[in-house]
Chain A
Amino acid sequence: MLQLKCLCLQVAYEDWFITLYNVCYSSLPVLLVGLLDQDVNDKLSLKFPKLYLPGQQGSLFNYRNFFISLFHGIFTSLIIFFIPYGAFLQTMGQDGEAPSDYQSFAVVTASSLIITVNLQISLDTSYWTFVNCFAVLGSIAIYFGIMFDIHSAGIHVIFPSAFTFTGAASNALRQPYLWLTIILTVGISLLPVICIQFLHKSIWPSVGDKVQRNRKKYEMEEEEKKKPSAFQRGQRSRRSAYAFSHSRGYADLIASGRSIRRRPTARGGPQDSIREVPQREAENI
């Protein structure tokens, strides 16, 4: 989502921001979503083979979704530029000094961009571990940390020509007006996304959405299924102990190994669930 605002031919952002954007500020959360995100956990995935249909039908990665993402990016970049543009159009700074200069404009648009991007990836994360939290909050924190460093007086004294944004961040971000601009920009960028995602999940839920919605219910059913078999096992052993004292008993059953090989279908074991349960439960999704 890196956007170059070519309205004025001058690069809107500072050089170091552009370099570090792809490396530090926005890459880690996306990476972690790709590696660690689970919208449906492994047990439920095995239980509902219909979850594999979206992959087979190619309904998640196709041209339509690509162009939707493209337009979403264009829309967000227009918002991130034009809302601060409107706010800066005729304004003055809080102390009357230095109104609407290009470095403060760059700070405001860059901050809105980083916060929007990181909150957007959080909306797409469905499995929040501490690693994800750390990545999102860490990216935003690193951005502000590095920005204040680059805009500090100290680094300008050492490299005057390379770091020319001296004082821009501290001067811009101490003004509540510019923070309100950032909040408005982030809000306008994200609220349509939340609205559309919610509508999709309500009106046209996918298989994954339905499973996610009833995840707790399915997990409780799994627990209940395991419990009765434990009872039966206990009962049988009690019965066999009783029977053992009055009749021949089941010793030859155990010794010959027949009891292990031929399992009754009522009891669910790991190898059974793959074959039998899908035929019974898959139709009910």
Chain B
Amino acid sequence: MMASSYNAKEEDGHHSGSSSHGGAGAVKSKKPDNTAFKQQRLPAWQPILTAGTVLPAFFVIGLIFIPIGIGLYVTSNNIKEYEVDYTGVDMSSPCFNCAQNFSWNSTTSCNCSVPFTLEQPFESNVFMYYGLSNFYQNHRRYVKSRDDSQLNGDRSSLKNPSKECEPYRTSDGLPIAPCGAIANSLFNDTLELYYIDANGSRTAIPLVKKGIAWWTDKHVKFRNPGGNNNNLTAAFQGTSKPVNWRKPVYELDPLDVDNNGFINEDFIVWMRTAALPTFRKLYRIIQKKASMTPTLPSGKYVLEVTYNYPVRSFEGRKRMILSTISWMGGKNPFLGIAYITVGSVCFFLGVVLLIIHHKYDNRNNSADIPN
């Protein structure tokens, strides 16, 4: 038995030896090379999940996550935010009449004033947002309905927009610039803020409209056709305005050539589609004052709305939000609470695993002795 196996091995050796000597162009041995890679003997680290690594890891992760969560939660609580819903749903709301009497063909715009009070002063830069609810900017056909070549200033796309823009591609035989459903539904309410001081006089609060879009959007993605010259009217010759706009795109901001046409920042902010049906978009920035006075002192304010944007037909809501900003962005306690929860669960699991490991460790050690 043993002899035969020994001989067989010998014969094997002889065979390969003889065949390599015997014939010219002999059959190469099919044995894989004796390298570390092919014989799977590479130097390796072989970690296993022992209690010594897992339990400290759980405790450490718990101890790291909880302070991060507390930090986030406290920061979020310190951010000041104020929201004003001005859709005009109730009869008592100031904008009820504007909401009821909306029509697409009206030449005069409807104005309404919404008074509100800030309990606390807002320090440093204050950001003014408009928020919409129940508005699905993430619907697939909506998101696809744009022509990025046209928005990049390409002349051929200006006159011949992409098919994705249908049905907002042409109007009265002329191509629409900018085409598509996203551009067509541009938010066009005008919001102004006034402070009412103790003796009843109104002061307008200065709102900055530049610097609200991403740098890459304003300088790379969106370009006017024919460059940034003063004569945008000529550049957009032969195109028509989107169906639901009141003015054409070269009249979005005639006084500032750097904010007119496709590079208008309100337009760019709108074109950056939101991820969720309830979203906010940056509208204006209220810059902090040089002196130590708060940017928005506490007191009475009034919001003047030029109500152009209809949302009642799809049960949407419109809001104006004033907010300060911190290193983590705006007011959102979710992440802070999530970190605290996960940290505590982790720590608790660590304790539970320690108990389980203690109980089963003795049993395992006794069962493992060979021989």
The yes or no verdict on A and B being binding partners is yes
Q: Which residues of A contact B (CB under 8 A)?
A: 8-11, 36, 38, 42, 83, 85-106, 126-131, 153, 156-157, 160-161, 164, 166-167, 170-171, 175-177, 180-181, 184, 187-188, 191, 194-195, 197-199, 201-203, 205, 209-210, 212-215, 218, 221, 261, 263, 271, 281, 284-285
Extra contacts, 18 of them, besides A130-B43, A167-B221, A177-B327 (Cβ < 8 A), are: A9-B138, A36-B42, A87-B332, A87-B334, A90-B331, A96-B323, A98-B214, A100-B274, A101-B275, A105-B275, A126-B47, A129-B44, A161-B148, A161-B162, A166-B217, A191-B61, A261-B3, A284-B371
A94 touches B335 (CB 8 A): no
- Interface check B140, CB cutoff 8 A: yes
A100 touches B279 (CB 8 A): yes
A102 touches B342 (CB 8 A): no
List of A residues within 8 angstroms of B368 by Cβ: 210, 213-214
Specify the chain A residue showing the minimal Cβ separation from B79: A92
CA distance A191 to B9 in the complex (A): 51
Chain B CB within 10 A, most for which of A91, A96, A98 = A96
Chain A CB within 10 A, most for which of B40, B58, B65, B278 = B40
CA distance A188 to B69 in the complex (A): 14
**In the complex, which of the residues A8, A42, A126, A202 contacts B138, with contact meaning CB atoms closer than 8 Å?**
A8
B342 touches A187 (CB 8 A): yes
B327 touches A94 (CB 8 A): yes
CA distance A166 to B214 in the complex (A): 10
B48 touches A213 (CB 8 A): yes
Are A86 and B338 also in contact (CB < 8 A) when A96-B285, A203-B356 are? yes
22 contacts between A and B (CB under 8 A): A10-B140, A86-B338, A87-B334, A96-B325, A102-B138, A102-B274, A160-B154, A161-B147, A177-B327, A184-B335, A191-B61, A191-B346, A194-B49, A194-B57, A195-B349, A198-B353, A199-B353, A212-B48, A213-B48, A213-B50, A271-B6, A284-B369
The contact string, 1 if C-beta is below 8 Å from chain A, for chain B 311-337, is 000000000000101011111101100
- Interface check B185, CB cutoff 8 A: no
CA distance A100 to B334 in the complex (A): 14
The contact string, 1 if C-beta is below 8 Å from chain A, for chain B 271-292, is 0111111111110010000000
**In the complex, which of the residues A160, A184, A188 contacts B152, with contact meaning CB atoms closer than 8 Å?**
A160
Closest 4 CB pairs of A and B: A167-B216, A92-B330, A102-B275, A105-B275
CA distance A198 to B213 in the complex (A): 49
- Interface check B251, CB cutoff 8 A: no
CA distance A209 to B65 in the complex (A): 31
